[in-house]
């Protein structure tokens, strides 16, 4: 299999061209896509993967969020609960509608790419995945999580989640969301009730990172603690976030060397 990076980049640019890049949400996902692809490549190299496998990891990153653009156009939101499963929608665009052939002539890795795209945002991966497919899925999920932290700092949460600043600053934290954080696992979408829960949920993704380079990237970028420096007028929320920050500093000290 040969991946032509220039061809793949051109295919992605052509796919997103009909969407309005002046829209901050469209621009967010375009920029996020390129960063996730770069992170996939970085993590693969850190693991000593060969050139072909590293390029395939990069392609996983480039493809992973194609479903976001139709989700936004049709529903005006990135909230899967209020619209569609964006990962499955991306897999449909690429593999049921045949969009993948614009990126890649060879079909020998279609099954792996389909699995990586379709499952990249799932709470848990299927237990039945073969080791190679799981390695690619874990790598893509890591890269996506790392850049989600950046996106949620650089883009106002009001824009991402469609809430007012007043709602954001008054928001409490759902106790079950806080408990999931301290249990060191990702927060189920069904537990999130308030705007502040999204910040806690995104910070908790760090506990799920598989590859050491992913944890190093989080520490190096510094977006995690900017996310947890949550602007609030709610004293209980301020107390919760202070505890989360202290806990994560200690955890990263031990796990991001």
CA end-to-end span of the chain: 35
pLDDT tens digits, 171-225: 999 999 999 999 999 999 899 999 999 999 999 999 999 999 999 999 898 899 9
Q: Helix, strand, coil proportions of the chain in percent (round to 5)?
A: 70, 0, 30
Q: What percent of the chain has pLDDT over 70?
A: 99
pLDDT bin (cut points 50, 70, 90) of residue 2 is: confident
pLDDT of residue 16: 97
Q: Is 84 exposed, middle or buried (0-12, 13-18, 19+ CB in 10 A)?
A: middle
Say if CB 49 and CB 82 are below 8 A apart.
no
CA angle 240, 245, 249 (to 5 degrees): 150
Residue 25, pLDDT above cutoff 90: no
């Amino acid at each position: 299999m040969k991946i032509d990076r220039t061809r793949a980049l051109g295919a992605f640019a052509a796919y997103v061209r009909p969407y309005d890049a002046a829209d901050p949400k469209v621009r967010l996902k375009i920029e996020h896509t390129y960063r996730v692809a770069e992170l996939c490549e970085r993590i693969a190299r850190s693991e000593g993967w060969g050139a072909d496998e590293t390029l395939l990891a990069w392609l996983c990153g480039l493809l992973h969020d194609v479903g976001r653009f139709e989700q936004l156009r049709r529903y005006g939101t990135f909230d899967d609960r209020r619209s569609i499963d964006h990962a499955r929608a991306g897999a449909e665009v690429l593999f049921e509608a045949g969009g993948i052939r614009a990126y890649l002539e060879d079909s020998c890795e279609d099954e792996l790419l389909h699995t990586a795209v379709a499952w990249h945002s799932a709470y848990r991966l299927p237990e039945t995945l073969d080791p190679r497919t799981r390695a690619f899925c874990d790598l893509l999920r890591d890269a996506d999580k790392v850049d989600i932290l950046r996106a949620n700092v650089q883009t106002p949460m009001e824009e991402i989640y469609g809430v007012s600043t007043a709602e954001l600053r008054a928001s409490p934290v759902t106790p079950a969301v806080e408990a999931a954080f301290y249990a060191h696992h990702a927060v189920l979408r069904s537990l999130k009730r308030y705007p502040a829960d999204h910040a806690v949920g995104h910070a908790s993704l760090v506990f799920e990172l598989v590859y050491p380079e992913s944890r190093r990237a989080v520490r190096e970028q510094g977006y995690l603690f900017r996310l947890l420096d949550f602007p609030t007028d709610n004293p209980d929320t301020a107390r919760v976030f202070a505890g989360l920050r202290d806990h994560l500093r200690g955890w990263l000290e031990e796990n991001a060397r």
